[in-house]
Structure 1
Amino acid sequence: MTILPREFYSADTVAVAKNLLGKKIVRTAGRNKISGIITETEAYGHADDPASHAFGKMTERNRAMFGEPGFAYVYFTYGMHFCFNVVAKNPRSPAGAVLIRAIRPESGIRIMEKNRGITGLKNLANGPAKLAQAMEITKGQYGIDLTKKSELYIAEGIKIENIISSPRIGITKAVDKMWNFKVEI
């Protein structure tokens, strides 16, 4: 399995969001290995994107978005959920990230079901909070280098076709940007 190199993430954030579709997220927690194919992403920029956490200035929370591409940016939202992002930006941009919104579970499905407290694939990892809960992604994974084999990384996956783009979900600013991308697999 080929892990995606840093150069993959060192590109336009919107392009990276599309190119992540079909790639495989691998999470090792203890002796458990969990993986899934990315089926939905959202791009978040910097100065051109008022919906982005990086819009404005760097803070302790969004610091990873201003760092080197290929690192995990995990944040806590609504006082109850974690969301997993990948820092992705071209060299001319100070910040950017791609929110991983959904996966198709591949391995460790029973572990994911236990983590989510449900059975069956239907609603197992079809939203950013569900995905983080299913894959045991928390603040502890903030800043992990995803370009190295470790407890969390992204690797080559499957070839995909027919990307569907739409407005991003659950935001009130920059709603005109069609930066939500998904694929049926």
Structure 2
Amino acid sequence: MPLSVDFFNRPTLDVARDLLGQRLVRMIDGRRVSGRIVETEAYVGPHDTASHASKGRTPRTEVMFGPPGRAYVYLIYGMYHMLNLVTEAEGFPAAVLIRAIEPLEGLEVIQANRAGIRQARLLTGGPGRLCRALQIDLSLNRWDVTRGERLWLEPDAPVPPAQIARGPRVGIAYAQPKDRAAAWRFWIKDNPFVSR
């Protein structure tokens, strides 16, 4: 049973924290490939200068203003896809970036998609890496992840609060100081797949 719209239609910081431990599932050529989410980042509203939404509503960011539970997939540096999940009420632009997963199912598919990578943590430890491993690209932008097809999330083992760490987000030097300092990145302590 996939996570419902209600899971995503909540404050983004709560969703970012609660996504830790949930299972991200992708169907690839009829094979189920999945991983446990171990690292996330929250991007909250038009006043968060680290968020794409701070530049206003554009064709690229339109999905962030849409209903919760949609995938916001975009390309950086012309080569790396990033997977975000839209949160909060429709009209308020917010999303959670999935930064890292720990592989659970379909390891041979993940390894084939990340050919040449020998270190296990480098298979899916990082937002671009996990998208390559799970073949997540622009064709999944705006995808409804609550449908249980192609790409979705399932409830899994909850992470005890004592095992969750938080700190500033990564790679947002362009943002205002208050947004650079915001502790809106969440990760599972001591998990080897966390990107940093």
Does the 8 Å CA contact 2:66/2:91 hold for their aligned counterparts? no
Q: Which runs of 4+ in 1 moved over 6 A?
A: none
**2:181 is matched with which residue?**
176
Structure 1 segment 31-180 matched on structure 2, within 5 A: 31-89=30-88, 91=89, 94-117=92-115, 118-161=117-160, 162-172=163-173, 173=175, 174-180=179-185
3-state DSSP class of the match of 2:52? coil
Tell me by how many angstroms 1:148 deviates: 1.0
Does the 8 Å CA contact 1:45/1:55 hold for their aligned counterparts? no
How far apart in 2 are the matches of 1:71 and 1:37? 19
More helix by share: 2
> Deviations for 1:19-56, whole angstroms, at most 9, x for unmatched residues?
10000000001122110000000000122300101113
Tell me by how many angstroms 1:93 deviates: 6.0
Does the 8 Å CA contact 1:105/1:121 hold for their aligned counterparts? no
- TM-score of the pair, normalised by structure 1: 0.95
Tell me by how many angstroms 1:159 deviates: 1.8
Which amino acid in structure 2 is aligned with residue 140 of structure 1?
S
How far apart in 2 are the matches of 1:69 and 1:121? 32
Which amino acid in structure 1 is aligned with residue 111 of structure 2?
E
How far apart in 2 are the matches of 1:169 and 1:6? 27
How far apart in 1 are the matches of 2:185 and 2:33? 25
How far apart in 2 are the matches of 1:146 and 1:92? 15
- TM-score of the pair, normalised by structure 2: 0.90
Does the 8 Å CA contact 2:69/2:144 hold for their aligned counterparts? yes
Which amino acid in structure 2 is aligned with residue 8 of structure 1?
F
3-state DSSP class of the match of 1:50? coil
How far apart in 1 are the matches of 2:164 and 2:144? 27
**2:194 is matched with which residue?**
none
Aligned-pair identity in percent equals: 37
In structure 2, the gaps of 5 or more residues are 192-196
Which amino acid in structure 2 is aligned with residue 166 of structure 1?
G
How far apart in 2 are the matches of 1:152 and 1:92? 21
RMSD: 1.3
Tell me by how many angstroms 1:57 deviates: 1.1
Does the 8 Å CA contact 1:37/1:104 hold for their aligned counterparts? yes
3-state DSSP class of the match of 1:15? helix
Does the 8 Å CA contact 1:70/1:146 hold for their aligned counterparts? yes
How far apart in 2 are the matches of 1:160 and 1:72? 23
How far apart in 2 are the matches of 1:93 and 1:7? 16
Which amino acid in structure 2 is aligned with residue 182 of structure 1?
W
How far apart in 2 are the matches of 1:140 and 1:126? 22
Tell me by how many angstroms 1:92 deviates: 8.0
